[in-house]
Amino acid sequence: MSTVPSPPDFSTLLQFFKALANESRLKLVGILAQRECSVEELAALLHLKEPTVSHHLAKLKELNLVQMRPDGNTHFYQLNSEALLALNKAILTQDQMASLVNGVEAEVWDEKVLKSYLEAGRLKEIPASRRKRLVILKWLVRQFDEGITYPEKAVNQLIQQYHPDSATLRRELIGYRMMQRDKGIYWRLPEPEWQETA
């Protein structure tokens, strides 16, 4: 039977806020709130050197905010959600921590996918992976202007500037609600309406 952690004292809270007063540590905690990472991964995501990341992790370990799991020669770190709760769920929840770095990991991932699949501004192939395809579709739909309507022929012509299979890509843009279609006329939908799954 688990027990509810006792509230932290003032000095612990002060140490907590001092530890998170550093932008890199704040982002690091945000990433670890979402998934387990190695020092190498964290260094790549935050554009820092590995010794710097290790230093930040040591500061967070002093507060028991991160846990380490060895796997061969690699150490994986994750957020200690129980310790975070003990440091006062009312102040900072795990979801709020994760929201501090919204976009950081996504931007790095998007750049990597685009670099892999684009050559001279054209799409080499349509990714089989749904997650990678989503990155490509987001890039492709941004080639269309918001507030402008396009007949199907114009949609096909624009897509074919980047890849010959305009029919598949056009259907995918509709499926992910990035574009809307009515009587052969297409238009780009606002980004908040885009879906992660078709």
| Residue type at position 70 | P
Tokens, residue 63: 């507060």
Please tell me if the domain spanning 10-102 has the same topology as the one spanning 108-193: yes
Beta-carbon-side half-sphere exposure of residue 129 (alpha carbons within 13 Å): 7
Token pair 């685009």 is found at 114
Beta-carbon-side half-sphere exposure of residue 82 (alpha carbons within 13 Å): 7
Task: Give the C-alpha separation, 63 to 11, whole Å.
Answer: 11
Entry pTM: 0.51
Check whether 132 has a pLDDT greater than 70.
Answer: yes
Q: How many CB atoms sit inside 10 A of residue 8's CB?
A: 17
CA distances from 178 to 118, 168, 190 (A): 20, 14, 7
pLDDT in tens, 15-68: 777 777 888 888 998 899 888 999 999 999 999 999 999 999 998 888 888 999
Task: Give the C-alpha separation, 21 to 5, whole Å.
Answer: 24
Task: Give the C-alpha separation, 5 to 2, whole Å.
Answer: 9
State which fold the 108-193 domain adopts.
Arc Repressor Mutant, subunit A (1.10.10)
Tokens, residue 150: 């396009």
Average pLDDT, the chain: 85
Q: DSSP state, 76? A: E
Beta-carbon-side half-sphere exposure of residue 198 (alpha carbons within 13 Å): 17
* CATH 1.10.10.10, domain 10-102, yes or no: yes
* Share of residues in the chain with pLDDT > 70 (%): 83
